[in-house]
Amino acid sequence: MADMPNDFWSGWIILITLISFIGLVWLVVSVYTAAPPNDAEVDHTTWDDNLKEGMNQAPLWWFWMIFAMMVFSVFYLMLYPGMGSFKGAFQWSQGGQIEERYRVFNDEFTELRAEIAVMPLTEIQADAALMGSASDLFSQNCSACHGYQGQGQANLFPNLNDDIWQWGGSPENIELTLRNGRIGVMASWEALLGQEGVTNVANYVLLLGSPEAEGHPGQARFNQICIACHGIEGTGNPLLGAPDLTDDDWLYGNDLDTLRETLRGGRNGQMPAFGDKLDNAQIRLLVAWLTR
Ligand code: HEC
Ligand code: HEC
């Protein structure tokens, strides 16, 4: 009730509460203090031969029970919020309860969190309870995209369980990926290559690393355009998020049609940033989990 829109409404509610309360007291007292009606004035109709109407007063213990409840209400309204915006002597509020619990929670865990945030990864990895928390964190925040246990999904979300890292697999790089997110930027090459060029270069990508690649019709274009990011050998560049094109690991796929689609349309995979959603301890736990 502390956030009552203004004093007028608060006063109004206090007034209604008080008037209702006084009215109730008056009603109860008047029922019990009224003089019993003159017996002669009472209509003693008899029902079903033996059920006679009378005017007995309600038992007195009812009165004391109701009276005790009223006294309780008065004390309650003095101690707890109930009268408009009056907070009560205890200053109790639901928001206050939550703040109090947060305070207790933080006091209890701040130290532990600070410890985890700088704990060596091997130490975290050796602690089954911490790894359990890390796995829970992953399920809550990451598995919608990366799959239940990070196995990757739908030729869009990379597998995080293998040793292949598009953006670098050192703990520092993975931490940067989590904090800042990553946006893979590869433009469309259709205009530059033309349809035939797209097919040639896609075929060349499939041959990368094999002897047949030498002198392939796609080679010249590849060397001209693609090596800037994917490297002379096509092994990629984690600084740019340019994937290794010579391994067997494909984010979007390596059948000819998919490769042509990649070259025609470009690709822009986006990993969202978690720097302001997760705290340092949580990020540390996830890095440990991903490098286990
Ligand atoms: C400006 C840097 C840049 C250039 C130039 C570039 N790429 Fe890429 N390429 C990337 C990035 C970054 C990605 C990752 C995109 C993503 O994560 O969504 C990528 C992704 C790919 C993929 C998808 C790999 C997979 O795992 O599915 C293929 C195939 C590819 N590039 C081939 C090429 C070819 C062929 C060329 C030359 C015509 C080329 N790229 C030129 C940066 C580049
Ligand atoms: C909205 C979907 C989405 C969510 C949620 C998400 N990711 Fe990603 N993540 C991606 C995409 C897409 C990429 C690939 C980006 C690219 O193409 O370069 C990626 C890439 C990554 C990479 C880089 C992989 C590599 O090979 O370098 C890591 C590490 C990663 N995610 C971890 C996580 C973790 C940990 C979480 C949970 C805190 C998470 N992701 C949540 C979509 C998501």
Torsion over CA: 143, 147, 152, 153 (sign): negative
Query: Measured from the CA of 254, which atom of ligand 1 is nearest?
Result: 27
What distance in angstroms lies between residue 189's CA and the mean position of ligand 1's atoms? 10
Which tokens belong to 61?
């213990």
Nearest ligand, CA of residue 160?
A: 2
Contacts of 287 (CB under 8 A, 6+ apart): 121, 171, 174, 175, 178
Which mutation among 146, 247, 280 tests ligand 2's pocket best, with the greatest number of atoms within 8 A of CB? 146
For the stretch 152-209, pLDDT in tens is 888 889 999 888 999 999 999 999 999 999 999 999 999 988 999 999 999 999 998 8
C-alpha torsion 214→215→221→222, nearest 10: -10
Tell me, using a 6 A CB cutoff, whether residue 184 lines ligand 2. yes
Distance 32 CA to ligand 2 centre (A): 75
Using the structure block, give the residue that is written with the tokens 């094109």: 245
Query: What average pLDDT score do residues 257-282 get?
Result: 93
Q: How far is CA 45 from CA 33, 36, 39, 41, 176, in A?
A: 25, 18, 13, 12, 91
Q: What residue's CA is closest to ligand 2, atom 23?
A: 167
Residue of higher predicted confidence among 60 and 1: 60
C-beta of residue 117 within 8 angstroms of C-beta of residue 284: yes
Q: Is the Cα torsion angle 143, 144, 146, 152 positive or negative in sign?
A: positive
Contact 238, 165 (CB under 8 A): yes
Q: Are 45 and 53 in contact (CB under 8 A)?
A: yes
The residue contributing the CA closest to ligand 2 atom 42 is 271
Does ligand 2 come within 6 angstroms of the Cβ of 158? Answer: yes
Query: Given its phi and psi angles, is residue 243 left (phi above 0), alpha (psi -120 to 50 degrees) or beta?
Result: beta
Interatomic CA distance for residues 168 and 140, integer angstroms: 24
Q: Atom 1 (ligand 2): residue with closest C-alpha?
A: 145
How many angstroms separate the CA atoms of 250 and 166, rounded?
10
Structure token digits, residue 139? 């399920």
Report whether pLDDT(230) > 50.
yes
How far CA 40 is from CA of 30, 44, 53, 56, in Å, comes to 22, 9, 13, 14
242 Cα: distance to centroid of ligand 1 (angstroms): 6
Closest approach atom of ligand 2 to CA 267: 17
**What is the distance between the alpha carbons of residues 74 and 47, in angstroms, rounded to a whole number?**
43
Ligand 1 atom closest to 192 (CA): 38
Span 233-237, mean pLDDT?
92
Whether the CB-CB separation of 208 and 236 falls below 8 Å is answered with no
Check if the beta carbon of residue 174 is closer than 8 Å to that of residue 287.
yes
Mean pLDDT lowest among 80-89, 99-108, 185-194, 214-223: 99-108
- When pLDDT is averaged across residues 127-155 and rounded to a whole number, the result is 91
**Residue 10 scores a pLDDT above 90:** no
Cα torsion 92, 94, 95, 99 to 10°: value is: 80
Average pLDDT, the chain: 89
| Ligand 1 close to Cβ of residue 266 (< 6 A) | no
Specify the amino acid at residue 284: R
Distance CA 275, CA 213 (A): 43
